[in-house]
Structure 1
Amino acid sequence: MTNQRSNHKIPRRTFLKVCAAAAAAGLTACGKTQAAAALPELTVGSDSYPPFVYLSNDSTPTGIDVDIATEAFARMGYAVQIEIIDWEQKTNLVESGAIDCIWGCFSMDGREQLYRWAGPYMTSRQVVAVNADSGIETLADLAGKTMMVQSTTKPEEIFLAGTDPRIPQLGEVLSTEDRSVQYAMLNCGYVDAVAAHETAILQYMQDCNANFRILEEPLLVTGIGVAFALNDTRGLDEQLTKTFAAMRADGTMKQIVGKYLPDPEKYLEVDALEP
């Protein structure tokens, strides 16, 4: 297999600094009366990845992860600033201290030793999508086909590693920095399949009226979490994990996820994940 990285760069990937805490619906869940602007601020680095993180019509970051981050950190005594970052530079940014954590539908599986993790706070299925009229029905049918993935993501790792016995030899694996490119390439028939988080594919299909079909067998079912640098000794990862548990227990997680996805309970079954 060959890996061809796209040189496509997006001007919008310059840092965008917006304080998401100001858009939060109060701090009622934690009973805090302190103004959000007076709280110490944490910078969250993320990618544009609907429905987890995206810009609303007024260019304000919104989505599942924005809402969870705002609420969770508020309970911990922090305000939140969301930065849309170059996702390929996420590790360098968190290790340098340019951002406090990486948060954006980020799969923990296989990366456990690379960061200090908070979570998992949700589960996610990494899946393959094809055009509705494609003859590809199973992972085995991908033999000799062209697959496109977003660079530095779990699907890219899976297809380039070639260690999953369910996956045959593909004709080519293409990587792109911009996730929207892979969907456009599939929609136009330039590639045979794409792979990504199921929720992101479903969101794209809804937003762009795309006629894709998701294969039944997932590539991976994984937990998604929040990554802090290994040299970060503030204890925020442990505190955030406890806050996630409290938000599941009091129904806040279900309420937030339910704003964006149907059947939110199935995305919160983190205890069922294999250790």
Structure 2
Amino acid sequence: MKRFDFKTQARIFIKCTAAAVLSLAFILSGCSDKSAVSSDALPVIIIGSDEYEPYNFSDKNGNPAGIDVEIASEAFLRMGYKAQFKNIVWDEKDEMLADGKVDCLWGCFSMNGREDKYRWVGPYMNSRQAVAVRADSNIYALSDLSGKKVAVQSSSKPEEILSQNSADIPQVSGLYCFVRTEYIFAALRKNYVDAVAGHEYMLRVFINESDNKYRLLDESLLLSKLGIAFAKDNDSALPEKLRATLYDMKNDGTLAKIAVKYGLDPNTALGGITLE
């Protein structure tokens, strides 16, 4: 009959307990490291953008929010980076990109007409540029803008379109360019201009907050393709990796979910978008 040795069993129990504690420490340490890597320990990608709701704006706590902020944060996290939005003067975007002060430009940035100026990732979403006027205005079509005064954000697509000498574009009598979008609305409120042009969502928010004293024209000034701009000479693998990640996010429904969250029709926002 085998004798029960209390001292031997005690030593075995202590060794097993120590091993279990050590294993648990390794597990917890691994979890801690994973948590750290998923946040502040990740390498940072600096994204140049300006305030342009609903794509990039500051929430009530002053933190970056919006469609592009959420897409970028998720995409770069999947790639092993942390997205950091840097609010810039949009007129200085090319200099900041060339100087390396930002890694890319991302903020409702239209690729239309700029296809050869940057190394693009996209298009990842569609955007409609529209025109808003006072409710009692006699402007009902884009052709009615001929001879009128229009306010736009400087360096925006509406500025480019309305400054062209084209038979398809109405010749306005004055094109007033402002650095910040709130200034274009102030110009319309004070009757300094007859119309304002910009992103459809931005104009709808303005109209809703103004008790419908203004209205949107049915015609689109432009349906633009949005992209992420890297420097033309950027030869890294990052842009193509980002493209592949956005492709996955479109196919798994992430892009549509973010679009719906901010009041966009996902069929319009993502129609024709392939990212292939």
TM-score for the superposition, normalised by structure 2: 0.83
Question: For 2:150 and 2:71, how far apart are their aligned partners in 1?
Answer: 32
Kindly state the Cα deviation for residue 206 of structure 1 after the two structures are TM-superposed.
3.4
> What is the aligned partner in structure 1 of residue 15 from structure 2?
none
Name the structure 2 match of 1:92: 95
State how far apart, in whole Å, the 1-side matches of 2:188 and 2:100 are: 37
The structure with the larger Rg is: 2
- CA distance, structure 1, for counterparts of residue 201 and residue 111 of structure 2: 16
1:160 aligned onto 2:163: yes
> Structure 1 residues 189 and 118 mapped into 2: Cα distance closer, same or farther (>3 Å)?
same
Q: Which of 194, 202, 206 is residue 196 of structure 2 equivalent to? A: 194
Q: Is the 8 A contact 1:67 1:256 kept in 2?
A: yes
8 Å Cα contact 2:150/2:194 also seen in 1: yes
**Residue 114 of structure 1 is aligned with which of 91, 107, 117?**
117
Equivalent of residue 55 in structure 2, options 52, 60, 63:
52
Q: How many angstroms does 1:162 deviate by?
A: 1.9
- Cα-to-partner distance string for 1:134-170 (whole Å, 9 max, x where unaligned): 110111111210011111111111111222x232321
Does the 8 Å contact 2:162/2:170 carry over to 1? no
Aligned-residue sequence identity (percent) comes to 43
Q: Contact conserved, 1:155 with 1:196, CA < 8 A, in 2?
A: yes
Q: Going by fraction, where is strand more abundant, 1 or 2? A: 1
Higher helix proportion, which one? 2
Kept in 1, the 8 Å contact 2:247–2:274? The answer is no
The C-alpha deviation readout for 1:113-134, integer Å capped at 9, x for no partner, is: 1101111111011111111111
Comparing 147-156 with 236-245, which one deviates more in the overlay?
236-245
Q: Is the 8 A contact 2:128 2:222 kept in 1?
A: yes
Give 1:212's aligned residue: 214
How far residue 262 of structure 1 moved from its aligned partner, in angstroms, is: 4.1
Tell me: CA distance 1:33–1:269, structure 2 relative to 1, closer, same or farther (3 Å): farther
Deviations 1:204-248 (A, max 9, x none): 333454532111111111111110001211122222122111111
Residue identity in the other structure for 2:94: T
Q: Which structure exhibits the higher relative contact order, with contacts defined as CA atoms closer than 8 Å and separated by 6 or more residues?
A: 1
Cα distance in 1 for residues equivalent to 2:149 and 2:157: 17
Cα distance in structure 2, aligned partners of 1:118 and 1:215:
31
The residue type equivalent to 2:262 in the other structure is Y
How does 1:111-190 map onto structure 2 within 5 Å? 111-163=114-166, 165-190=167-192
